[in-house]
Amino acid sequence: MKQPEVVVAGHICLDMIPCFPASSNFHELLIPGHLLEIGPAVVSTGGPVSNTGLALHKLGVRTRLMAKVGDDIFGSATLKLVRSFDPELVTGLRVVVGEQSSYSVILSLPDADRIVLHSPGPNSSFSADDLRYDLLRPARLFHFGYPPMLRRMYEDGGVELAALLNRVRQEGLATSLDMIMPDPASGAAQADWREILARGLPHVDFFLPSVGEMLFMLDRRLFQELTAPSTEDALLSHLRPSHFSHLAEELLQLGCGVVALKAGHLGLYLRTGGAAKLSPLLCGDWANRELWVPCFKTRVVGTTGSGDATIAGFLTGVLRGLDPVQTLTGAVAVGACNVEAADALGGIIPWDQVQRRIQEGWKRLPLAIESDGWVWEEQNGVWIGPHDGETLNR
pLDDT at residue 112, rounded to an integer: 66
Mean pLDDT of the chain: 92
What tens digit of pLDDT does each residue of 263-292 get?
A: 999 999 999 999 999 999 999 899 999 999
- Other CB atoms within 10 A of residue 239 CB: 18
Residue 19 lies in a domain: no
The pLDDT of residue 234 is above 80: no
Written as one letter, the residue type at 187 is G
First to last CA, the chain: 42
Q: By three-state DSSP, how is residue 64 classified? A: strand
Residue 39 lies in a domain: no
116 falls in which pLDDT band (50, 70, 90)?
confident
Task: Look up the domain containing 353 and give its range.
Answer: 48-67+126-384
pLDDT at residue 315, rounded to an integer: 98
Residue 319 lies in a domain: yes
Alpha carbon 149 to chain centroid, angstroms: 13
pLDDT at residue 302, rounded to an integer: 84
Residue 260, strand partner residues: 270
The pLDDT of residue 231 is above 60: no
The pLDDT of residue 159 is above 90: yes
Q: Which of 328, 332, 330, 343 is nearest to 108 (CA)?
A: 343
87 falls in which pLDDT band (50, 70, 90)?
very high
Residue 189 lies in a domain: yes
CATH number of the structural domain spanning residue 133: 3.40.1190.20
- Compute the residue count for the chain: 394
Residue 172 lies in a domain: yes
343 falls in which pLDDT band (50, 70, 90)?
confident
The pLDDT of residue 330 is above 60: yes
d(C-alpha 341, C-alpha 303), whole Å: 8
- Once rounded to an integer, what is the mean pLDDT over residues 132-136? 90
The pLDDT of residue 202 is above 90: yes
Which contacts qualify for 384-389: CB closer than 8 Å, 24 or more apart?
A: 384/290, 384/291, 385/241, 385/245, 385/271, 385/290, 385/291, 385/292, 386/290, 387/245, 387/249, 387/271, 387/288, 387/290, 388/288, 388/289, 388/290, 388/291, 389/288, 389/289
- Other CB atoms within 10 A of residue 36 CB: 12
CB proximity list for 136: less than 8 A, separation 6 or greater: 7, 142, 168, 171, 173
Q: What is the DSSP letter of 312?
A: H
- CA atoms lying within 13 Å on the CB side of residue 149: 30
pLDDT at residue 394, rounded to an integer: 56
Q: By three-state DSSP, how is residue 226 classified? A: helix
| Number of domains into which the chain is organized | 1
127 φ/ψ angles, rounded to the nearest 5 degrees: -135, 175
The pLDDT of residue 1 is above 70: no
CB proximity list for 85: less than 8 A, separation 6 or greater: 54, 57, 58
Residue 288 lies in a domain: yes
d(C-alpha 76, C-alpha 69), whole Å: 8
Burial of 314 (0-12, 13-18, 19+ CB in 10 A): buried
pLDDT at residue 233, rounded to an integer: 58
- Once rounded to an integer, what is the mean pLDDT over residues 224-247? 83
What tens digit of pLDDT does each residue of 17-68 get?
A: 888 776 666 666 777 887 878 888 888 899 999 999 999 999 999 999 999 9
> What sign does the dihedral 165-168-172-177 (CA atoms) show?
negative
Please give the model's pTM, rounded to 2 decimal places.
0.92
- Once rounded to an integer, what is the mean pLDDT over residues 210-236? 85
Residue 3 lies in a domain: no
Residue 131 lies in a domain: yes
pLDDT at residue 229, rounded to an integer: 62
